Amino acid sequence: MTYDRLVCANCAAPVNQGRCPVCRANRARMQQEGGPLGALSPAALVALVALLVAAVALLVHQTA
């Protein structure tokens, strides 16, 4: 999950702005747990999957 759309229950501001200590702590935790694909937006992940599917389809079409 990306933190760019999360709203803090403590200050009611977006978590990615880091206005309060709770926001900053959760933002730091999510950045550490995110892994290599954690920083990508959902749209970028969908585009990446579409590119992978197209590459596999191209390989299958070339070998057949």
Residue 24: its pLDDT value, please? 86
Q: Single out the residue of 32, 10, 28 nearest to residue 20, CA to CA.
A: 10
Q: What is the pLDDT of residue 38?
A: 66
> What is the structure's pLDDT at 13?
86
Q: Which pLDDT does position 36 carry in this prediction?
A: 67
Q: Please indicate, yes or no, if residue 32 is contained in any of the structural domains.
A: yes
Q: Which domain holds residue 48?
A: 15-63
d(CA 2, CA 34): 8
Residue 10 domain flag: no
- In the chain, which residues have pLDDT < 50? none
How many domains are contained in the chain? 1
Q: What is the pLDDT of residue 3?
A: 61
Helix, strand, or coil (residue 62)? helix
The per-residue pLDDT for 35 is: 67
| Residue 2, token pair as written in the block | 């990306």
* pTM, to two decimals: 0.47
Q: Is residue 44 part of a domain?
A: yes
Residue 4 belongs to a domain: no
15 DSSP 8-state letter: G
